[in-house]
Structure 1
Amino acid sequence: MIKILWLLESKINSDFINEISDELELKIQISSSFEKETIYDVIILENLAIISHLSEIQKNSILIYVLDEKNNIFDHQNIYVNYYIRNVSLYEDLYQAFLKSKDFLLKKINTISLKSGKINYHIIKNNILYIESFRNYIVIHTSISDYTLRYTLKKIHKKLGNEFVQCHKSYLVNLNNVICIKENTIELKNEVTLPIGNKYKQNLYNLIYK
């Protein structure tokens, strides 16, 4: 899902959002008020000064600045803007900005960002084979490396989405990396075999062999 922060006085056109959603083949969530804890994929605004922490969140967002005859693009040169678009042709320019950002947005939506202590992790979901939990920690096993974080299995499951399923009280698996299921075990790519808990067996079969 792509999260858009809409900070224009005019209301957004729902038909436009549906068109962009179809073009990107992604669901879109629109917000009209800024929440500090939310990471936005796209921010559309007409006054750069209204976000006091813009310099921090812009690292994770595409910034689209809407210009009219009163705006001066030199007022906020310390803030990097991805696209300057014209208010007189708002939706035409927005459409082009989204098309140019398509590859970036698709890549971003397939990346999970996690913070453990003072360390930020950015992990590509498709690379995750499985996630193992022990006590208050998890180990994210990927095809490239392993990452140990202070996190819970329940919390990480909510962030990952439907392509990940619990096969055991201590394991989440990426359905895209499942090779086969045997009676009490599940085999993944990279010659990984994990146990299947009785509590999770039926749901696992339903998802894989639906």
Structure 2
Amino acid sequence: MKCLIVDDDPLMCDLLEHFCSKIDGITSVVTTISGFESINLINSSPFDIILLDYNLPDITGEDILKITSPNTAVIMITSNKNFAPKSYDYDQIVDFLVKPINFPRFFKAFQKAQTFHSKYQNNEPRLFIKDGNKLVKINLEEVCYFKSEANYISVVMAKKKILTLMALKDLEVKLPNFFQRVHRSYIVNLNKISAIGNNALEIGKDHIPLSQSYEKILYQKINLLN
């Protein structure tokens, strides 16, 4: 993975570059302390992962996000906790690290970026899940929605349902862009939605609750897909 570090603090750039050097999956690192320079770098050469400071002296990290490819994994690195809720508006943000940062937490964020990157390297959207004592390949395009049930997840398709031991938050980072969380207990396939209204979605004969906190990002993603 090719990495870009954007932070106006040279010491933070050095620390992040050191962290990157300890990870075999990162093959090259470019650093800049300028937001404007980062835009030129992003436009001239694609990056697989960007470590992005929110508070920059010339432009904000949010401005840079707006021109970043949706296929690029972004880890926000900042002391501004207020941006955390808004970060969910951007599909490419895989994690949000608040300074000071240690390597174990950084590595966890990198693993999320790696999973995100792998989704876009794979032409066939699929996922292996545990069904009893075997791993089963699921074609994600056939999945209508995922529902959390205690410590399990129901994988609901048109003609069958599989129950697997997994947390919804762990599943969420593995899914491609056409899936969206709409409730604390549901992640839906946007291509399977037949109607939206009255704080609910219709997928086939099923009615899925729609939480207000996920409503805005849902409509944004629907417009992007259309």
Q: Per the shorter chain, which TM-score range? A: 0.3 to 0.5
Q: Under a length normalisation based on structure 1, what TM-score does the superposition of the two structures give?
A: 0.46
Between Structure 1 and Structure 2, whose CA radius of gyration is higher?
1
Q: Under a length normalisation based on structure 2, what TM-score does the superposition of the two structures give?
A: 0.43
